[in-house]
Amino acid sequence: MVLIGVERGDTTVQADRLLDRLLSYRVFPDQEGRMNLNLRQAGGELLLVSQFTLVADTSKGNRPGFSTAAGPETGRKLFDHVLARARAELGGCECGEFGAHMQVSLINDGPVTFQLRVAPDA
């Protein structure tokens, strides 16, 4: 499961780099139990869920701020872009409903969670 948050200024170039990293990131165990396989090598599947709260500013106060989050139109455009590319590259990909109130369950198999970021456009 990948939760995707889109920030102001994010572009399709960054979205492409993020998907490339997602597909090549070696976080699945090999025969020796080491994180050495990427999603394809492990025979994994991908579930993408839009989650604008990931980009909340929590640095001060008692309420998160969302001024760094992209607007809904941009967020949807970039989420749909990643989803279309993922489906093309993997032959399929599941997703949540953009902007909807969803109940998503996750069973985290182990103490491993990663936050992937890509650098702003050069």
Question: Which member of 12, 41, 53, 68 is catalytic?
Answer: 53
66 is catalytic: no
| Residue tagged 């989050």 (tokens) | 69
One-letter amino acid identity for 115?
A: Q
Question: Which member of 12, 14, 28, 52 is catalytic?
Answer: 52
One-letter amino acid identity for 88?
A: A
Give the E-state strand segments of the chain in sequence order.
Answer: 2-4, 28-29, 35-37, 47-50, 94-95
12 is catalytic: no
Collapsing DSSP states into helix, strand and coil, what is residue 83?
Answer: helix
79 is catalytic: no
Q: Are residues 80 and 72 in contact, defined by beta-carbon separation less than 8 angstroms? A: no
| Rounded distance between C-alpha atoms, residue 21 and residue 61, angstroms | 33
Question: Which member of 12, 14, 28, 51 is catalytic?
Answer: 51
Query: What is the set of active-site residues?
Result: 51-53
